[in-house]
Amino acid sequence: MKRALHAVFRRRSEPTRPWVPEYARTASAHWLDAHRVRIDNVRRFRYRSRDDYTASWFDAVYDVDLLESVDLVVSRWAGESIAHVFVSFGFADGTYLSISIETRRREGQHYSTWKGFWPNYDLMYVVADEADLIGVRTDVRRERVCLYRGDVTSGTARKLFIDYLARLNELNVQPEYYHTLFNNCTTNILRHVRAVAPHFRYDWRILLSGHADAYGYRMALLDRHTPFEELKRASLIHRSPDAVIDDAFSRAIRQPIKRSAA
């Protein structure tokens, strides 16, 4: 059933227009042995504004045995019901690698929810450092970004990571179209979660992506020792207007909020 569904979204022809710079390269995973994987074309853009940035990519080797955690990132820019959702994997050496499922757009294309119901955009797994994928949302677009630590074992995080890498390699061989309802960021995250936890089921919160964190909380993927609304407030990333996106970004966004005494 799952394979049949994805076959519906297979892209059958190759448009001629070039990709916008952010999507010019796709990541690929190459296993060196049973534990180490080299990922090519990890994105490392440094944004100064929405349209002013330094573009770069790098290749790096990751030891899956050192993968310790997975975080859920929920970024809202308007109301509470719509958000972009992606994950970030944490390694024992302090490295974080984010994977965001997005529309791969060509020059002249702009994202539209309605256009996403038709075969207008490719589906893309953007692999990048957090200063790129989270930094552009917190510091440049000034979106409301919540960073939740997943309440899962390191073994589950590793299985999830491996499943993500398999999927991005599949898309390099057979591209697929994005679909607003059935082949988007949250439906694909659910697909990966079900690969390691088959009891998870489709839920209305998958359609209203801004409620994905509430769904993760309900399904015990997030810390259940704190009431959800309190957890949500504590997970909101706070960045000052003069903050700098640098190599300490991942550590900075995980620092507890310092509140002045009343």
Question: What are 190-239's pLDDT values in tens digits?
Answer: 899 988 887 777 766 667 888 999 999 998 999 999 999 999 999 999 99
- pLDDT of the residue at 259: 38
Nearest to 111, CA basis, from 23, 237, 48: 23
| Alpha-carbon separation of residue 82 from 26, 30, 97 (angstroms) | 26, 34, 24
| pLDDT of the residue at 208 | 81
Mean pLDDT of the residues in the chain? 90
Q: Per-residue pLDDT tens for 13-39?
A: 566 779 999 999 999 999 999 999 999
pLDDT, residue 261, reads: 36
Q: Determine the pLDDT at residue 15.
A: 62
Residue identified by tokens 């960045």 is 239
- Pick from 258, 2, 254: which is nearest to 130 by CA? 254
Q: How confident is the model at residue 258 (pLDDT cuts 50, 70, 90)?
A: very low
pLDDT of residue 3: 55
DSSP 244: -
- For residues 169-185, average pLDDT: 93
Q: Look at residue 217 in the predicted model and tell me its pLDDT.
A: 93
Min mean pLDDT across 60-64, 106-110, 171-175 is at: 106-110
Mean pLDDT of the 67-96 span:
95
Question: What's the pLDDT at 260?
Answer: 36
Query: Which residue, 162, 42, 49, is CA-closest to 96?
Result: 42
Per-residue pLDDT for 74 more than 50?
yes
List the Cα angle 101/106/11 in 5-degree steps: 65
Most confident of 57-66, 215-224, 239-248: 57-66
* Band (112; pLDDT cuts 50, 70, 90): confident
| pLDDT confidence bin for 155, thresholds 50/70/90 | very high
pTM greater than 0.85: yes
The closest of 96, 88, 56 to 71, measured between CA atoms, is 88
pLDDT of residue 12: 61
Residue 63 has pLDDT above 60, yes or no: yes
> Quick one: which of 134, 40, 16 has its CA closest to 84?
134
Domain extents for the chain?
2-252
- Whether 43 shows a pLDDT value over 50: the answer reads yes
